[in-house]
Amino acid sequence: MRAVLRDLSGVLERAEVVDPDTTIRGYIGDQQVTFEIKTEVESDMTLDWTEASVPIHAGLELLLSVRPRTRGDERDVARGLALDLRLGDPVFDVAFIVEGAPERLVREILDEEVRRQLLALKPTHVTTRRIGMLIHMSEWVDDAERAALLVRTTARLGALCAEIGRRQLADLARVDTSGYRGGSAPGWRARDQEELQALSRSMERRGELREREGRRYRRMFTGVLIVIVLMVVALVGIAVTTSQ
The model scores a pTM over 0.75: yes
Q: Give the CA count within 13 Å in the CB-facing half-sphere of 170.
A: 6
Q: Which residues contact 209 (CB under 8 A, 6 or more apart)?
A: 81
Q: What is the pLDDT of residues 198-236, one digit of tens each?
A: 887 877 776 666 676 566 656 666 666 676 766 766 666
**Rounded average pLDDT over 106-110:** 95
User: If we measure between CA atoms, which residue out of 70, 74, 65 comes closest to residue 95?
Assistant: 70
Task: List Cβ<8 Å contacts ≥24 apart for 137-145.
Answer: 137/49, 137/50, 137/51, 137/52, 138/49, 139/48, 139/49, 139/50, 140/37, 140/48, 140/49, 140/50, 141/4, 141/37, 141/50, 142/2, 142/3, 142/4, 142/37, 143/4, 144/3, 144/4, 144/7, 144/8
Q: What is the pLDDT of residues 172-199, one digit of tens each?
A: 666 454 554 444 555 677 888 888 888 8
Does residue 226 or residue 124 have the better pLDDT? 124
Question: Looking at the predicted structure, is the pLDDT value of residue 79 above 90?
Answer: no
Q: What is the pLDDT of residue 122?
A: 96
Question: Looking at the predicted structure, is the pLDDT value of residue 147 above 50?
Answer: yes
Yes or no: say if 77 and 84 are a contact pair by the CB < 8 Å rule: yes
Q: How far apart are CA 33 and CA 230, in angstroms?
A: 57
Q: How far apart are CA 48 and CA 40, in angstroms?
A: 7
- Please state whether the peptide bond connecting residue 20 to the residue before it is cis, i.e. omega within 30 degrees of 0: no
| Dihedral pair phi/psi, residue 205, rounded to 5° | -60, -40
Domain segments of the chain: what residues? 3-211
**Rounded average pLDDT over 33-55:** 92
Give the lowest-confidence range in 14-28, 67-81, 197-211: 197-211
Does residue 219 or residue 99 have the better pLDDT? 99
Does residue 237 or residue 242 have the better pLDDT? 242
